[in-house]
Amino acid sequence: MAHTDQNEVLFERARAVIPGGVNSPVRAFRAVGGTPRFVKRAQGAYFWDAADKRYIDYIGSWGPMILGHGHPAVVEAVQRAVIDGFSFGAPTEREIELAEAILALVPSMEMVRLVSSGTEAAMSALRLARGATGRKYIIKFEGCYHGHADALLVKAGSGLATFGNPTSAGVPPEVVQHTLVLEYNNIAQLEEAFALHGHEIACLVIEAIAGNMNFVRASAEFAKRCRELCTQNGALLVFDEVMTGFRVGARGAQGVLGITPDLTVLGKVIGGGMPLAAFGGPRAIMEQLAPLGPVYQAGTLSGNPVATACGLATLKEVSKPGFYDALSKKTRALVDGLKAAAAAEGVPFCADSEGGMFGFFLLDALPQNYTAVMKSDGTKFNTLFHGLLDRGVYIAPALYEAGFVSAAHSDEDIAATIDAARQIFATL
Ligand SMILES: Cc1ncc(COP(=O)(O)O)c(C=O)c1O
C-alpha cells in the first residue's frame, strides 16, 4: 500500500539504503514504535517534518542547539566562514579563538584539543589518561554514555574483581577487560573498587549530571568521593561534559557541583550544531599529546573552520550576562508545570532540571542510578511520547534520554507543552 504520509515515504526509502533508515540508532523510534519524523527545516524552538507539521523541539539535536535553530548571529558567522573555505588541514586563527574562549569559561582546563565528535573526544581523553598515568584500568558507571569507543561499550561483570562484558557485538571481551563498571551514586562500591584496584586505575570517567539515563545527578557526596579517591590513588578524574558543558551552566556540571576534574570532555554546545568536540585539562597532562608527547591523537577535520565559527558564535551568545538564569527559569517552569499537571491527574511523576537540561520519570521519586531509572513505566511513557508528538511536541523517543530547552523557547511554547501533557496525563 502506498504511504500517504511523507515521513513514512522517506522512512521506507531510507531503510532501503541506510541500516534501520537512520544514521544513529535512537532516531529510529525503536523504543516507542511508529515512524521517525524526517526534518525539513528548523527555526527557533521549532522544526517542521516532511509533512510540514510543526513541532516544539525539546531535543535540539540532542543538546547542541542551546540558542534554538538558526540563530541569526550564528548563521551569519557560518556563512562568512564558508566563503573563506571549508577545510584546510592547516591551523587557523579561529581555532585559537575557540580554544581561548573555552579555557576562559572552564577554569579547570589550561589547554584543549579540538576534535570532531564526543566519541572521539572521550576516547582520546581516556588514551591520554592511560598514557599520562602509565596505567591500564578505567572506571565508568552504569547508565553513563561516553560515545561508542570499544572499551566503553561495556556492562558490569559479575563482581568488582571481574571487570566488564561487551554490550555490542564486534567488541572482543579482551578490549573491555580493563574497564570496571560501577553503580552510579554507590559510594561503598566505589570505595571497594579503589581498595581493590586503586594503584592500577588510570582514570574514572563520569557524567556528573548524567543525561544518558534520562537525568540523574551525582550526589554531592558521591562526586566529592570520586575526586578524593582519584587524588589519593593517583588516578585522573575525567568529567564527560559532552552533554552538560555550557548546557547546565557556563561551567558545566563541574561548576554546579564545585568539583575540579583533571580532564574535561566537551562536545555538542561548543559546536553549536556542527561536528565539533574537545578535551582538555592541565598543561602538564595535555602536553603528553602528539606532537609534543608520546600519546598519539589526530584528525583530518579537527578544528574545522566552519565548525569553529559556529561554535565561537554560539559561545559568544551563551556568555552574555544572565543567559543561564533566563534559560534555567524557562526549564524550571516547564518541569514545574509538568509536575503540577501530572499531580492534578494523579499520575506518578517526578522531574528535575539544571540550566537548559531536564528529565522526567513516571515514578514517585527521582532515581539515583540506572536500575532505578529503568523502573519508569515504559508503556505510559510511550503513550505520553506519542500523545505529545500528535500535539506537535517533540521529546526524546526513549525514556532514558534527557530533554533540552533552548533560549528560543517562549513562555507560550512551554505553556502549550504543559497543556498537551495535561491532556495525556488525564488518559493514563
Ligand atoms: C555524555 C556524552 N559523551 C559522549 C557522547 C558521544 O558524543 P557524539 O555523539 O558526538 O560522538 C555523548 C553523546 O550523546 C554524550 O552524551
For residue 424, report the distance from its CA to the centre of ligand 1, in Å: 31
pLDDT value of residue 1: 60
The CATH number that applies at residue 65 is 3.90.1150.10
Query: Given the CA of residue 207, which atom of ligand 1 is nearest to it?
Result: 1
> What would the pLDDT profile of 71-91 be if each residue is shown by its tens digit?
999 999 999 999 999 999 999
In a domain, 23, yes or no: yes
pLDDT value of residue 141: 97
Confidence (pTM): 0.97
The C-alpha cell 577487560 sits at 177
pLDDT value of residue 6: 97
Strand order in the sheet with 236-241: 111-115, 277-281, 263-266, 236-241, 201-206, 137-141, 179-182
Residues 276, 142 share a domain: yes
In a domain, 1, yes or no: no
Three-state SS letters, 132-189: HHCCCEEEEECCCCCCCCHHHCEECCCCCCCCCEECCCCCCHHHHCCEEEECCCCHHH
Domain coverage including residue 37: 6-70+321-425
Question: From the CB of 243, is ligand 1 less than 6 Å away?
Answer: yes
Residues 231, 377 share a domain: no
pLDDT value of residue 162: 67
Q: At which of 318, 341, 364 does a domain end?
A: 318
Output the CA angle 232-237-238, nearest 5 degrees: 170
In a domain, 126, yes or no: yes
Residues 304, 392 share a domain: no
Question: From the CB of 116, is ligand 1 less than 6 Å away?
Answer: no
Count how many domains the chain has: 2
Q: Whose CA is nearest to atom 9 of ligand 1?
A: 118
Q: At which of 289, 318, 347 does a domain end?
A: 318
Helix or strand holding residue 393 (H, E): strand 393-394
In a domain, 367, yes or no: yes
Residues 399, 285 share a domain: no
For residue 150, report the distance from its CA to the centre of ligand 1, in Å: 14
Residues 204, 63 share a domain: no
Q: What are the residues whose beta carbons fall under 8 Å from the beta carbon of 369, sequence distance 6 or more?
A: 142, 143, 183, 184, 185, 186, 213, 216
- Enumerate the β-bridge partners of residue 361: 350
Residues 278, 136 share a domain: yes
In the chain, what are the helix, strand and coil shares in percent, each to the nearest 5?
Answer: 40, 20, 40
In a domain, 137, yes or no: yes
pLDDT value of residue 48: 98
The answer, yes or no, to whether residue 155 has pLDDT greater than 70, is yes
Which residue among 115, 124, 146 is best mutated to probe the pocket of ligand 1, counting the most ligand atoms within 8 A of its Cβ? 146
Residues 292, 205 share a domain: yes
Q: At which of 318, 335, 359 does a domain end?
A: 318
Question: From the CB of 145, is ligand 1 less than 6 Å away?
Answer: yes
Q: What are the residues whose beta carbons fall under 8 Å from the beta carbon of 196, sequence distance 6 or more?
A: 160, 161
pLDDT value of residue 145: 96
Residues 329, 209 share a domain: no
Residues 179, 50 share a domain: no
Which residue among 124, 243, 301 is best mutated to probe the pocket of ligand 1, counting the most ligand atoms within 8 A of its Cβ? 243
Question: From the CB of 62, is ligand 1 less than 6 Å away?
Answer: yes
In a domain, 305, yes or no: yes
Residues 117, 249 share a domain: yes
The answer, yes or no, to whether residue 62 has pLDDT greater than 70, is yes
Cis peptide bond upstream of 173, omega within 30 = no
The answer, yes or no, to whether residue 159 has pLDDT greater than 90, is no
pLDDT value of residue 401: 94
Residues 244, 154 share a domain: yes
**8 Å CB contact between 252 and 265:** no
> What would the pLDDT profile of 369-416 be if each residue is shown by its tens digit?
999 999 988 999 999 999 999 999 999 999 999 999 999 999 999 999
Residues 237, 111 share a domain: yes
The CATH number that applies at residue 84 is 3.40.640.10
- Average pLDDT over every residue of 120-135: 98
The answer, yes or no, to whether residue 161 has pLDDT greater than 80, is no
First to last CA, the chain: 33
In a domain, 232, yes or no: yes
